[in-house]
Amino acid sequence: MKVECIFCKIINGEIPSKKIYEDENVLAFLDINPSSPGHTLVVPKRHILDFQEIDDDDLLNLMKICKNLSKKIVSVLDADGYSILQNNGIAQDVKHFHLHIIPKYSNDKTMDIDEVYKKITNE
Ligand code: DGP
């Protein structure tokens, strides 16, 4: 764990988050500043910087979880599509590898983060 890393602090429970999936190696939680309702971040629990640093097995595992979670999020929130995004270098604000799941809606959908959280976690 990197002491100054905000995602390490979330993983460690030092900073609260709306967790929607967790296992031994991976945590997924709702983005604090969502681009759309259901915007989710999928992160390895081990501190890894970026796309170049993550090893292939960890990447594959994260992608599999991301694939399952996207299906669930889209279905529960009735989204019309989604984007998977991953930023590096100057494009990356938080220097702990993460995949974004960003649901897309054909109409401008508004839903607050608590409602999103309830819908996803009650399924
Ligand atoms: P990126 O630019 O790919 O590094 O995106 C970082 C994302 O992390 C951005 O969409 C906002 C989100 N984020 C930053 N700090 C926090 C936090 O403390 N909690 C949560 N849930 N999300 C955060």
| Cβ of 15 less than 6 Å from ligand 1 | yes
Domains of the chain are 6-121 (3.30.428.10)
Counting residues of the chain whose pLDDT is more than 70, the rounded percentage is: 99
- Helix then strand then coil, % of the chain, to nearest 5: 35, 20, 45
| Cβ of 92 less than 6 Å from ligand 1 | yes
pLDDT in tens, 70-84: 999 999 999 999 999
Torsion of CA 93, 56, 61, 11, to 10 degrees: -40
**pTM value surpassing 0.75:** yes
pLDDT in tens, 10-32: 999 999 999 999 999 999 999 99
For residue 81, what pLDDT is reported? Answer: 98
Max Cα distance, the chain (Å): 41
Q: How confident is the model at residue 123 (pLDDT cuts 50, 70, 90)?
A: low
